[in-house]
Amino acid sequence: MKRFVTLLLPLVCLLAGAVTMAPHFTVAIATSPSGEVFFARRGDYPRIDVYTDGSVTPLRTFPLAAAPTGIAFSGRQLYVTTEARGGDLTVLDALTGGV
pLDDT tens-place string over residues 45-69: 899 999 988 888 999 999 998 999 9
How do strand 37-42 and strand 47-51 relate by DSSP bridges?
antiparallel
pLDDT in the model for residue 44: 86
Q: For residue 55, is it within any domain?
A: yes
Model confidence band, residue 20 (pLDDT cutoffs 50, 70, 90): very low
Q: For residue 88, is it within any domain?
A: yes
Domain that holds residue 66: 21-93
pLDDT in the model for residue 1: 46
Domains: count for the chain: 1
Whether 48 and 68 have beta carbons less than 8 Å apart is answered as yes
Is the pLDDT confidence value at 98 over 80? Answer: yes
**Best CA proximity match to 80, nearest among 23, 38, 44:** 38
Cβ partners under 8 Å of residue 25, min gap 6? 41, 42, 43
Q: For residue 16, is it within any domain?
A: no
According to DSSP, the residues that pair with 89 across neighbouring strands are 81
Task: Give 11 or 89, the one with higher predicted confidence.
Answer: 89
Q: For residue 5, is it within any domain?
A: no
Measured over the CA atoms of residue 96, residue 99, residue 77 and residue 72, the dihedral's sign is positive
pLDDT in the model for residue 13: 46
Q: For residue 99, is it within any domain?
A: no
Measured over the CA atoms of residue 43, residue 47, residue 48 and residue 53, the dihedral's sign is negative
